[in-house]
Structure 1
């Protein structure tokens, strides 16, 4: 039996457990829908949106990473062109485009597990 000093608050397990939980949430996002980094953290009972970003940076290639966007609706920096191909293929609602940088329409595309 672990001592009380070994106990961890809910949602604050070891890094590998957090990473696997993040990846499971991201993997469950349906095509054409998105969640923000904060949404994924909240789904895990956490406020660690930046940690979700770290998990996605290291392990995101294993899941549909383009379905996790910044709070503004913009995809991960440096991946806008490739993400756009996925959004178009999945019919993800977008705003802007043309001469204006596009972003995902969070009102229409946000997924709540």
Structure 2
């Protein structure tokens, strides 16, 4: 999976655009950025997402990645996004092209 510079920046811009108090899925970000797969979004975030609101991007199930779960859910709670059983209600808090 290759990420050219333009796609890399589109992914970063899409993540940056998710407002506080809302979440998007990796698939939502991939769709907005026109990436071929949500995995590219995860890759960009893991390699170059430290300065982005990475915590607002979740799996399609509404759950965070296990290795990030504690910190991610803590940051989301601070923005008013609760999780029940470590899962965010996407019907309530999801943002994206549907907004």
Number of the residue aligned with 1:103: 87
Number of the residue aligned with 2:25: 36
TM-score scaled to structure 2, two decimals?
0.87
1:93 CA displacement: 3.6
CA RMSD of aligned residues (A): 1.7
How many equivalent pairs are there? 96
User: Any conservation in 1 of the 2:12–2:49 contact (CA below 8 Å)?
Assistant: yes
Query: Which structure shows the higher strand fraction?
Result: 1
Alignment match of 2:80 (pick from 87, 91, 106): 91
Question: 3-state DSSP class of the match of 1:94?
Answer: coil
Cα distance in 1 between the residues matched to 2:66 and 2:49 = 14
1:76 CA displacement: 2.4
Cα distance in 1 between the residues matched to 2:87 and 2:5 = 31
Q: Which runs of 5+ in 1 are unaligned?
A: 1-13, 97-101
Cα distance in 2 between the residues matched to 1:75 and 1:32 = 15
Structure with larger RCO (C-alpha < 8 A, sep 6+): 2
Of structures 1 and 2, the larger Rg is shown by 1
Question: 3-state DSSP class of the match of 2:34?
Answer: coil
Residues 19-40 of structure 1, C-alpha deviations (whole Å, 9 max, x = no match): 1111111111011111111100
